Structure 1
Amino acid sequence: MKRSEIDILSKDAFQEIGNIGSGSAVTALSHLISEEIIARQPQVIPLECDRLPEAFGKIDESAMGILLPFYGDISGMLLFVLTEPFVRELLMKTIGCPANFREMDEYKLSVIQEITNIMASSYFTAISAYMHKQIHISQPAVSIDMLGAMVTDPASWIMGLGHDTVCIENGFYLKEDSNMNHLGLMLYQESTCQLLQAVGVTL
């Protein structure tokens, strides 16, 4: 499967999967914090693209990343990239104790981790039902770092196992706050093919 074939034949299929997964994840978060969450249309980005980190925000700004490996009938990594204002609002709305990145402790990190676990579970439940595939989530890794490194490191690792793969990136934000946050589904090469076949795209 060539890169051009991925672009031409399957962009709509990837976008539909992104819409289904992110729609479910954002709805779960909205119910959890009783606030409206706005989600924008997904982007389908080749992992080899030099501009991949820019799709997740300003590469030289600090952000919180939560990386969740997943496995099963398809495998890869789900990456959340959250801004400091958004994290502060999540903590305020869930435990009544807002904090900036310098004030994060183990308890506050565990709260954010649990929130993203709920969103990830909703994301994969929705796309599993759509594709009739079993997907399991591994324990998340949480970090606060420069956004560029946070996105490039897992993408580079996946690219080392095969170049013909993509990232399905979705942006979302609180209705009262315009700071864009992101989640990106990064697929292993073999899973890229399996996912497309599952939704009826012939390669």
Structure 2
Amino acid sequence: MKDLKEINSIYFDVLKEIGNIGAGNAATSLARLLNSKISMQVPKVELLNFSDLAGIIAGEEETVVGILIEVTEDITGSMMFFLQMDSAKHLVNKLVPPSDDTEGVFSEMELSALKEIGNIITGAYLSALSGLTNLKVGASIPYLCIDMAAAILSVPAIEFGMFGDEALLIENQLEDEVLINGYFILLPDPDSYDKILGSLGIHI
């Protein structure tokens, strides 16, 4: 079992490729869902201290939409996707009529649409991960949370802190009339790092 700090440049390149393919898959899938042309900027991929993630995703008091799934099968761990509130509202309003609510709370129909968007986006990354490694990758039902980023990240931070203090952050910028900011975090269990590398014939 390796500490996350042992990740070398080759492995980081592999993770970046997963991020690039996943973002492309997500843009294509969202375009189909929304029946709209979506352009994608090159994702920004960074390995960061877990404690720094919340501040990059949003301001300290800013509410965001967080989607969490558990990764299962050959690779285990967690996957999270965050959308800033204005981006989430834009995507949802492309699928369902805007609600009359003025407090920023999503209606039941909007929450259902958000979960579908979350399914598509996280599925796009899982497909990239599976396709690149030829490993079987499954996922739990997405868990949706609307809160401050630090609050959403606090639960996985406790579990993840047992293994290391760095995580992979992929920042996506999609454009569909407006700029859509999304943040993807991959948290494989330590043993899964070896499986990912081994599937590619890479040994550290």
TM-score (ref. length: structure 2):
0.85
The one of 109, 116, 119 equivalent to 2:118 is: 116
When structure 1 is superposed on structure 2, of 129-138 and 149-158 the one drifting more is 149-158
174-183 or 105-114: bigger deviation? 174-183
Aligned 1:25-40 pairs, distance under 5 A = 25-33=26-34, 34-40=36-42
Does the 8 Å CA contact 2:68/2:144 hold for their aligned counterparts?
yes
Distance 2:39 2:102 in 1: 21
Rounded Cα–Cα distance in structure 2 between residues aligned with 1:146 and 1:164: 20
Flag the 1:58–1:201 CA change in 2: closer, same or farther, 3 A. Answer: farther
* Corresponding residue of 1:187: 188
Aligned residue number for residue 75 of structure 1: 76
Q: Output the CA distance in 2 between the equivalents of 1:50 and 1:179.
A: 24
User: Could you say which residue in structure 2 is the equivalent of 1:104?
Assistant: 106
CA RMSD of aligned residues (A): 2.3
Which residue in the other structure is 2:158 paired with? 156
Q: CA deviation at 1:74?
A: 0.5
Secondary structure, in 3 states, of the residue corresponding to 2:104?
helix
Deviates more, 1:145-154 or 1:33-42: 33-42
Amino acid at match of 1:40: V
Asked whether the equivalents of residues 101 and 144 of structure 1 are also in contact (C-alpha less than 8 Å), the reply is no
Normalising by structure 1, we get a TM-score of 0.86
Cα distance in 1 for partners of 2:94, 2:171 equals: 23
- The answer for unaligned runs of 5 or more in structure 2 is none
Q: Unaligned 5+ residue runs, structure 1? A: none
1:128 aligns to 2:127 (yes or no)? no
Q: How many residues align?
A: 201
Provide the secondary structure at the position in 1 that maps to 2:7. Answer: helix
Identity %: 25
